[in-house]
Amino acid sequence: MKKQLYLVATPIGNYDDITLRALKILTDVDFIICEEYKEARRLLSHFKIEKPLISINEHNEKDFADEIALRILQGEIAALISDCGTPLFSDPGHVLVDLCISYNIEVIPVPGANSLLPALTGSGLDFEKFYYYGWLSPKKEIRQKELLQLKNRKELIVLLDTPYRLKALLADIVKVFGKYCRVVVAFNLTLPSEKFFRASAQEILHEVEAKNLKGEFVLLLDNRTLRLRSE
């Protein structure tokens, strides 16, 4: 009897980025574990897939992990998806995966869309080595302290945050790293409105403020030696 949990990557915006393997697995499994019902139903409806759903998040994952693992141990095959992109990457699922591994359930990653690699490859920066920090604190004082710590890392630094904090994050970067710090913002990746902003932190901040831009983004902060000098 197979005991399997698939970790299925889903598109980050453009549904055409789904893989054939992902579609096959989502069609074949007994049930799907998702992050938010609304996002999962929209995705599955688009591909005409109907499956029972269980939602897990940071608040309920510990409560539901045992129940899900038991169903898999009894012979049901499950797939874990996040709202978009690759599961577990700054998303729920770690507790469930750890539990499944402890029960000798086979955990099978199904690669696909993610925001990190497109941001790096489209940035125009040298990314043979980079430091992924991910999400900063939503609290301004703590966020600025985290940035001060990152200032000591003379590397290409990758940051993520929510769409409505792009301006605040850029403003903090200007304050901590200086207005000439080289930054790339990969904005709304895979969508028709996709755009790469490649300039100093101050210049990008001005453009974001002028256009009141809000959208998903990956921010690459080049804290090596180069500073962009422009007035």
pLDDT tens series, the chain, 231 aa:
789 999 999 999 999 999 999 999 999 999 999 999 999 999 999 999 999 999 998 889 999 999 999 999 999 999 999 999 999 988 899 999 999 999 999 999 999 999 999 999 999 999 999 999 999 999 999 999 999 999 999 999 999 999 999 999 999 999 999 999 999 999 999 999 999 999 999 999 999 999 999 999 999 999 997 666 654
Architecture label for domain 4-110: 3-Layer(aba) Sandwich (3.40)
Looking at residue 78, the DSSP 8-state letter turns out to be: E
What is the 8-class DSSP label of residue 137? P
Predicted confidence at residue 90, as pLDDT, reads 83
Residue 61, sorted as left (phi over 0), alpha (psi -120 to 50) or beta, turns out to be alpha
Amino acid letter at 36? Answer: E
pLDDT at 228: 66
In DSSP notation, 174-205 reads: HHHH-TTEEEEEEESTTSTT-EEEEEEHHHHH
The residues spanned by each domain of the chain are 4-110, 116-227
Domain 116-227 fold is: 3.30.950
Sign of CA dihedral 225, 149, 161, 88: positive
Q: Is the distance from CB of 157 to CB of 146 less than 8 angstroms?
A: no
The continuous run of DSSP H or E covering 218 comes out as strand 217-227
